[in-house]
Amino acid sequence: MDSFLQVRNIIPFPPGDNSSDTLIGNSHLNLTTLEHWNYTLFTNQTLSNGSWCLLAWEPWIADFVMPNGTFVNATWCWSPVNGIGERAGTSIGFAVLFGVALVLTIVALNRHGRLYLPVTKRFYPIGRRWQWYWGIIVSATAVVSLFTAMDVDRYYLPELPLILTSFFWFLMQLGTIAQVWEAVRHWGSWMERQFIDPDPYALRDDDRRSKVEFHLPLIFYLFWWLNFFMIIPRNWTPIQHQRYPEQVVNEAEPSATDARFKAAGFLLFVCWCLTVFSLRHSIKHYRPRNRGIINRFVGFIRMTPLRFKLLIPIALVVPAYQELCAWKFEYSPLNLEGNRAAIFAGGYAPALLIMYIQVIFGFINENEDKELKRQRIVRNQQLDQEMGIVKKPGWWARVNGEVVVPGESMRDQLVRNVREIQGNKPRNNESPASDDVPMSPLSPSAPGMSPAGTNTPPTSPPPLYNGRSERIRQERAMQAVAGALFPQNRSAEAERRRREQELMMDGPAPSAAATTAPPPPPYPGATGAREGSVAPSVGSRVSQQPPQQIRSMLDI
């Protein structure tokens, strides 16, 4: 059959000036040399010997052929000699739209991928970025497929551009389904994050819900990769054999509609079903539940976000059209003369609409970290209202002079706190450091009294505070005057000791006749009162806690 079709498409060489000459496109070529190298003239105006193919009409025909089979000024059959056709012009328009979507997707990735909260182990940042990564992949593969589609019309005979545009078209289909899946999956993760943010222990980690959410992505990408292996690793050469109608029927169409393409479309439909199941699972566990089959269906439609009401039906077109192409070759992008409206409406338009829907809602929705911070502020305000706590507004501190100066040291903050206790707050334009109040330690000796109790006046008594407080300056002056007028001496220390001993006695001081009688038992805490104890001074007994009371045998 192939030989018959090949003979049917072969035409004889036109006669020339003599028996060894042929006239092809106003160019005289050596017929003996052409027959020696097995060149044949076909009905599609090409000259080929199975290895080389040359155009055989003006102005692309060769000027001369040498005895060794080399042509002068020849043009290959796989050259872009045709003008831009309907397929190429539409491809340029779609490529521009996908390029704009690529830029907008990168902007949306920067908007939603930025972090404003610490990263938790349960919710990784890459989880919310995958839908935008897949959007970038979809845009890139679509642009490559559309730009190579321009050469499909320009090439005289189909060759590598037809294979490239089909190859990247299938990759775009895979990326589109993965983008919708990641958008739905991450929405469920975002619902879970909002659900457990007020209470981290609201959901268990070992229940059926968590197991489904763990295994569902694995099942999805299993069918996704099966679709990939059904299409991509294959022999693409028969697809380009569309040089004449018989070749299309015998080689290109059977290869483009084989069982592997049909199975690939079904596997992509399974991926779409798993996406819908993931959406249903998230609504069931993180949205209000409904009772009854009809109410559940109505609730599922009502609780589905508007973005997914648009994405899910459009995404269904992707596996449906891929399965249609596996059964009807006239609608397939692999067909050189396929239906242009069907190819762009069913093959490229769904991916483009999904891209722009994602971008629009990406600019409408807020960053998740910012939204979570806003929800926390609202919850704290509600808790404050329930507890009756009213927080002062931000301008309250500025009006009352409680503004922290940038670069303020700890010493300046302590000075400001001391002044607030004394009742002297700084004015609005006054710095706390302007009131020089050194925080010196309190001296154990009073002003005017040496540590040893001598009458030697101190050189400069250490002040407690130096500042504008009039009360502190008055107290310091009174202490200095009292120390100068009433100096203390050693007799005061001796009087203090005598008075302490008198207080330790029970009753009046003993007379001379009763000096031989034993003294009464001393108070607890006096010197020698209990074996092994040390009598503290009067000043230290004041600060001591009362002795421990024995309440049970365990205290002994």
Distance CA 150, CA 154 (A): 7
Structure tokens at 556: 């002994």
At 33, which amino acid appears? T
3-state secondary structure of 227: helix
pLDDT of residue 327: 94
Residue written as tokens 């566990």?
A: 285
Amino acid occupying residue 511: S
Contact of 464 with 437, CB cutoff 8 Å = no
* CB atoms near residue 447 (< 10 Å): 21
Pair 198, 125: CB distance under 8 Å: no
Determine the Cα–Cα distance for residues 304 and 317; give it in Å rounded to an integer. 19
Token pair 């001391």 is at which residue? 418
- Degrees to nearest 5, angle at CA 235 with 230 and 236: 100
Tokens 């400001």 belong to which residue? Answer: 416
Instruction: Specify the 3-state DSSP secondary structure of 356.
Output: helix
Q: How many helices (H) and strands (E) does the chain have?
A: 19, 8
Half-sphere exposure of residue 348: CA atoms within 13 angstroms, side-chain side = 30
- Nearest to residue 342, comparing CAs of 334, 180, 160, 288? 334
DSSP for 432-449, written as a single string: GGGS----PPPPSS-TT-
Q: Other C-beta atoms within 10 Å of 56: how many?
A: 23
Q: Is 105:359 a contact under the CB 8 Å cutoff?
A: yes
pLDDT at 314: 96
Sign of CA dihedral 473, 478, 483, 484: positive
Taking 3-state DSSP, the helix, strand and coil percentages for the chain, each rounded to the nearest 5, stand at 55, 5, 40
Residues 6+ apart with CB under 8 A from 259: none
Contact 419, 426 (CB under 8 A): yes
Beta pairing, strands 21-24 & 27-30: antiparallel
> Mind giving me the DSSP string for 164-188?
HHHHHHHHHHHHHHHHHHHHHHHHH
Three-class secondary structure of residue 21 per DSSP: strand
Residue type, 154: R
Residue 99's pLDDT is 95
pTM summary value = 0.68
Query: Longest C-alpha distance within the chain, in Å?
Result: 174
Residue length of the chain: 556
CA-only gyration radius of the chain, Å: 48
CATH class, range 86-367: mainly alpha
Burial class (CB in 10 A: 0-12, 13-18, 19+), 24: buried
Question: In terms of DSSP bridges, do strands 10-11 and 40-42 run parallel, antiparallel, or are they unpaired?
Answer: antiparallel
Instruction: Judge contact between 241 and 252, C-beta under 8 A.
Output: yes
Of 135, 147, 128, the closest CA to residue 104 belongs to 135
How deeply is 8 buried, as exposed, middle or buried, from its count of CB atoms within 10 A (0-12, 13-18, 19+)?
Answer: exposed
Q: What is the layout of strands, in order, in the sheet containing 53-55?
A: 10-11, 40-42, 46-48, 53-55
Q: Are strands 10-11 and 21-24 parallel, antiparallel or unpaired?
A: unpaired
Helix axes 349-364, 125-154, angle to 10 degrees: 150
Annotated domain spans of the chain = 10-72, 86-367
Backbone angles phi, psi at 312, to 5 degrees: -65, -50
Contacts of 241 (CB under 8 A, 6+ apart): 247, 248, 251, 252
Q: Is the Cβ–Cβ distance between 72 and 64 less than 8 Å?
A: yes
CA distance 538 to 375: 60
21 beta partners:
30
In order along its 556 residues, the chain shows pLDDT tens digits of: 343 334 447 888 888 778 888 888 778 888 888 888 888 888 878 888 878 888 888 888 888 888 888 888 888 888 888 888 888 889 999 999 999 999 999 999 999 999 999 888 888 888 899 999 999 999 999 999 999 998 888 888 888 899 999 999 999 999 999 999 999 999 999 999 998 888 888 888 888 999 999 999 999 999 999 999 999 999 999 998 888 888 889 999 999 999 999 999 999 999 999 999 999 999 988 887 777 778 888 888 888 999 999 999 999 999 999 999 999 999 999 998 889 999 999 999 999 999 999 999 999 999 999 999 999 999 988 888 888 887 777 777 766 666 666 777 778 777 777 776 665 555 544 554 444 444 444 444 444 444 444 444 444 444 444 444 677 777 777 777 666 666 555 555 667 677 777 666 655 545 444 445 555 555 444 444 444 344 444 444 444 455 555 555 444 4
Q: How far is CA 378 from the centre of its chain?
A: 23
Distance set, CA 38 to CA 22, 49, 52, 119 (Å):
15, 5, 10, 71
Contacts of 250 (CB under 8 A, 6+ apart): 1, 2, 5
